[in-house]
Amino acid sequence: MIRFVLRRLALMVPVLLGLSILLFIWVRSLPGEGPARSLLGTRATPERIEAINEQYGFNDPLLEQYLRYVGSLLRGDFLSSIRDGKPVLDTFFDKLPVTVELSLAALLFAIVVGIPLGYVAARYQGRAPDTAVVSGSLLGVATPVFFLALLLKLVFANWLGWLPATFRQTPGIDATQVTGFAVLDGLLTREYDAAWDAVLHLLLPAIALGTIPLAIIVRITRASVAEVLQEDYVRTAESKGLRRRTVARRHVLRNAMLPVSTTIGLQVGLLFSGAVLTETVFSFQGIGSYLFQAISQRDYPVLQGYIIFIAIMYSLINLVVDLLYGVIDPRVRVST
């Protein structure tokens, strides 16, 4: 198992190297005039722009710039934002809890709603509940995140006024920071009103962000359950006279979860990209909204650093999912 983990970690090196090259080229090919123009505004003189470009070395050959960048990464220097001068590493980890909390909430929503819906659809295959679930998931997967986010905000916050429209917590609420996870902090410090406030603020963004993963989980669960229901061991379980609940949980879902768990790992990438839009719409000060600003301002160091961090997290999460797979399926347990 340790060998398996090490091998997977080693495989990340070429992936990250390739990613860093692509990223480097990509951020520099963004349309517009580069970071100096964004920084100084439309009325800046060519001389001042030239000075900035010279200062950051943007006039050097690309290869030289790239090697310099990799060199600083290897020294552990992730550079600082061109825009606000803050170190990329610091802001990333400051903002991480916001995005992780939102993503976890979205994933929780997707799993808790998606698996039962997928199960019901498979059980009633071809009948009304199935049709409803399948068309709903098609709609869900086809709705752009930013559109759904704006729609939810408009209906539930602005029109109905049931839920807050922006921010992680009501501004001015005196919440103690411990971990940076608002809900968790509220629970840890026994400031339950703050925790509840954070939960209310999370609801709409989590639903907006979780809808596409939800739709995908529903689809995979439905297909997987439908397949498992045909298996001989489900018939064996039924021949034992087991209660429906036991058959569903222990025999059907446990097996049907195998492909679903892999999908859930892959959703993490979707969550990060969705967070960029969701956080922007709901004014969450997380990685997503910061990345959004970095894109619009051509903040090269932030873009490069953040996306590499996200890629590392994504790989690690999928490694963990693969290891967890062995917990559900004894047949693929990696030998130690």
Partner 1 sequence: MSPPSHQHGADVLTDGRADRTPVQGDQPLLSVQDLSVEFGLRGQKRVRAVDSVSFDIRPGEHVGLVGESGSGKSVTSLAIMGLLPRRGAHVSGRITYEGRDLLTASRAEMSQLRGNDIAMVFQDPMTSLNPVVPIGTQLAEVVTRHRRLSKSEARDRAGDLLARVGIPDPRRRLKEYPHQLSGGMRQRVLIAIALACEPRLLIADEPTTALDVTIQAQVLEVLKELVAETEAALLMITHDLGVVAGLCDRVNVMYSGRIVESTTRSVLFGEPRHPYTGGLLRSIPRLDAPRGEPLVAIPGSPTNTLPWTQGCAFAPRCAHVQDDCRTDPPALLEHGPRMLRCHHPLDGSDGPTPGGGSAGARPTAAGVADESAYRRPTEEDA
Kindly list the residues in this chain that would bind partner 1 in the complex (CB under 8 A).
231-233, 235-244, 246, 250-251, 254-255, 258, 328-331
- Which C-beta is closer to partner 1: that of 141 or that of 237? 237
C-beta separation of 272 from 310 below 8 A: yes
CB of 325 to partner 1, least distance (A): 11
CA distance 118 to 263: 14
**What does each C-alpha distance from 111 to 134, 186, 202, 232, 296 come to in angstroms?**
16, 24, 16, 27, 33
For partner 1, the closer of residues 89 and 237 by Cβ is: 237
Smaller CB separation from partner 1, 7 or 245: 245
Shortest Å, Cβ 125 to partner 1? 9
- What is the spatial distance between Cα 212 and Cα 216, in angstroms, rounded to a whole number? 6
Residues 95 and 286: beta-carbon distance below 8 Å: yes
CB of 241 to partner 1, least distance (A): 4
Cβ proximity to partner 1: between 82 and 228 the closer is 228
Place of tokens 């492909």: 259
Residues 71, 73, 74, 75: is their CA dihedral positive or negative? positive
Q: Cβ of residue 97: shortest distance to partner 1, in angstroms?
A: 35
Supply the minimum distance, in Å, between the C-beta of residue 6 and partner 1: 26
- Closer residue to partner 1 in complex, CB, 75/331: 331
Q: What is the CB-side half-sphere exposure of residue 191 using CA atoms within 13 A?
A: 18
